[in-house]
A and B are shown apart, each in its own frame.
Chain A
Amino acid sequence: MTRLTRYELRLFLRDPAAVIVTVLLPVGMVVFFGAIISPADGNDPIETFFPAAAIALGLAQLGMNLLPTTLVGYREKGILRRMATTPIPPSRVLGAQLLVGSLLAVVSMVSVVAVGTLGFGFDLPRRLPAFAVTFVLGVLVLFAAGLIIAAVAPNGRVASGAGVVLFFVSIVFGGVFTPAESMPAFMRTVGDYTPVGAFVQATRASWAGEWPQPQHLAAMAVTAVALALLSAKMFRWE
């Protein structure tokens, strides 16, 4: 790990709010609902909902909130410009941010799974390869969403505002607030094509032991590529 990545990680960990929303909140969610529903036995689909929603919550915070506000903050403060005068290009800061974000995403996911299964008897994801593929796609698509916010937002206020709006729309339509099966059909349909919705559905499927529906994986992959290309084209360094 380069020194730049190490310092980006250190700065992230120094921000209590960042650690709370990405790790503690998702873990708290499985603890809270785990204590309420005691999922020791049975195959109620609701049991895959809480851990999947908790992981989605952490990922969405990382991608839609922390990543864009940090990058736009760096641009506003002239940190990216200052980097451009050193032998190290400012794109490395972006790379370091993505690396730190991915690391935190994994920590958050592993914590949720560990606390949920060990502490409250949630099942482990039954189809691990499917779970892993879904997780990687989820990280990619949500970070790509963060990059497009960072690329388009003219300043930090707009970036965090856009992030918050996108975050809430995503978790409402994505089946994080309420399980998709108890949502109106049209909301589910919209949710299936949004990154968070597709991620939650695919994660729940893999948790229950099935392969996710191809449309969910495809929705994440296509959106990730499209947003990444678009943000690469539009990103401003100053």
Chain B
Amino acid sequence: MTVIEVDGLHKRYGERVAVDDVSFDVAAGEIFGILGPNGAGKTTTVECVEGLRRPDRGTVRVLGLDPRADAAKLRPRVGVQLQESRLPDRLKVWEALDLYSSFYPRPVDWRALLDDWGLADRRDAPFGKLSGGQKQRLFVALALIGDPEIVLLDELTTGLDPQARRDTWELVERIRDAGVTVVLVTHFMEEAERLCDRLMVVGAGRVVAVDTPEGLIARAALAPRVRFRCVRPFDERLLRDLPEVTAVRVRGSHVEVAGGGDLLHAVTSALAGNQVTVADLRTEQPTLDDAYVALVGGRENVS
């Protein structure tokens, strides 16, 4: 079942085109990622889905409803975490949850959310005293307080340290496991690869590709690689002449070999047969990162 349908979405701010003909569908129960560099139109796209912005052209349907015309019907069913949103510094964690639960017709018990999101021991802490990770967990809890069918999370883990980011991923998976559809806006490849069932890659306001992370990697048709360090220099033709090898790159003692088939076996046999001693040998499968660079063109700066 499709819960979000976006078709031919256009949005411009003055002269600048933020979103240019973006179309995608989100199925019930999946984690759908919107991935792209800063300024690619990710946030504008979700803001149109949230009903905060009016598209210049195109249609947006969420749970079969129009996010602006049917806002009153839709808002109780969609939870939102906005990029760069805060709360009053003196509002306590439990008060924020209690307050937001009063906005919804059928709120979940906020005490359970406190426990679920590891905020129980920060129950009485004012918002201004929370760490970045705790703030984000509180915002996710607030997004879930109305018992939504869909949650939209915009740059959930930006600004978090790596540990807090990983902890947050587990929580996002738990949302999905509870049957809630998740739309996740991110510019972290690793996050998208780890969490998303399907991904839309956007660049400069346009859709580059929509696929599963594996599908995107396959689509980029990237070769696996073998890397190692050579203790002494060797004739690289040794590897170049192998049928499995498509490319060899040597930088100092670091060697990177790309190719297909049983690349690792071919490389190690050739090296061993010629008494070349190597260290730190490992194979690398192409990641979403590589696929992204291949698909978007590598011009854009992505962390």
Interface of A toward B, CB cutoff 8 Å: 2-4, 7, 10-11, 14-15, 73-74, 77-79, 81-88, 238
Contact = CB atoms under 8 A, between A and B. Distances in A.
B51, B80, B87, B103 pick with most chain A CB within 10 angstroms: B103
A85 B146 contact: no
Contacts of B276: none
Given A86-B146, A87-B104, A81 B82 contact: yes
B50 A11 contact: no
B86 interface: yes
B103 A88 contact: yes
Contact of B103 (A79, A87, A238): A87
B99 to A, nearest CB: 5
A82 B88 contact: no
B90 A85 contact: no
B102 A82 contact: no
Interface in B89-134: 90-91, 95, 98-100, 102-105
Interface SS, B side: loop
A14 B82 CA distance: 26
Contacts of A7: 91, 95, 99
B84 interface: yes
B52 interface: yes
A3 B295 CA distance: 50
Given A82-B82, A86-B146, A3 B90 contact: no
Given A7-B95, A79-B86, A79-B88, A85 B80 contact: yes
Given A3-B99, A81-B52, A86-B104, A11 B84 contact: no
A73 B84 CA distance: 14
Given A7-B91, A85-B52, A87-B72, A79 B85 contact: yes
Given A15-B90, A78-B84, A78-B85, A84 B52 contact: yes
B76 interface: yes
Contacts of B50: 85
A147 B104 CA distance: 28
